[in-house]
Amino acid sequence: MAQDELTVLYSKDGAVARIVLNRPRRLNAFNVQMRDDLFAALEAARDDPDVRCILISGTGDRAFCAGADLTEFGSTPSQAVARRVRWERDLWGLFLSIAKPLVVALHGFVIGSGVEIACLCDIRIAAENATFRMPETALGMVPAAGGSQTLPRVMGQGDALEVLLANAQVSAFRALSTGFVHRVVAPEELADSALTLAEQLASLDINALAAIKQAVFTGMDLSMDQGLALEHRLAARLMTGMLER
């Protein structure tokens, strides 16, 4: 299959797996084929022992991902059928299962599924031209890929409710102020900045990074005492592993 026919491009740059959404003529709108191809790419990166960090981006100048392709997801006779198509593979659960750091480079339109993908990554870098929106309520729908759960955890309940309820458009710099993105750069610097960060993460101890992710994500659902106990266990396990090497 020619490269321009692939909905997701996968390559390795040293220890960094590069996953690129590749439907630029459709603003990288998320369809069933993209779901399947992204699932396969993430599995490949997760299972490859040479991969130590995953970098996700989108092709084209206009969008990282402009949301679900409504020709498949939003205009079917039954919304229940449309949603079930999206759930046939637990792509979102796969994101959460990956212990390796996930970096995402965001530009242009980041809408719906694009926001939800970004929320499931660990570090988000945005170009100055990035704009974020969750349009589901305007369509009489509820986010179906975790947005109602992940967005409040990433940017805080108040800001997330405005985005989710009022269909508010968020600029890159406002996203930075809420903590949704960690860094804003000029559009021409986005690719290099994201790759540099991914390479820095790939140079670190992969076991330590995995332990930190587990401590943070699991600890959010625990009491402080339980979270501290988890941190202690993970630190001890990591030290034991280092001594045994």
Active site residues: 116, 136
Round to whole Å and give the CA distance between 63 and 57.
10
Round to whole Å and give the CA distance between 46 and 99.
8
Round to whole Å and give the CA distance between 161 and 175.
14
Round to whole Å and give the CA distance between 41 and 117.
14
- In contact, 140 and 94? CB cutoff 8 Å: no
Round to whole Å and give the CA distance between 238 and 162.
41
Round to whole Å and give the CA distance between 189 and 86.
33
Measure the CA dihedral 65/43/88/218, to 10°: -90
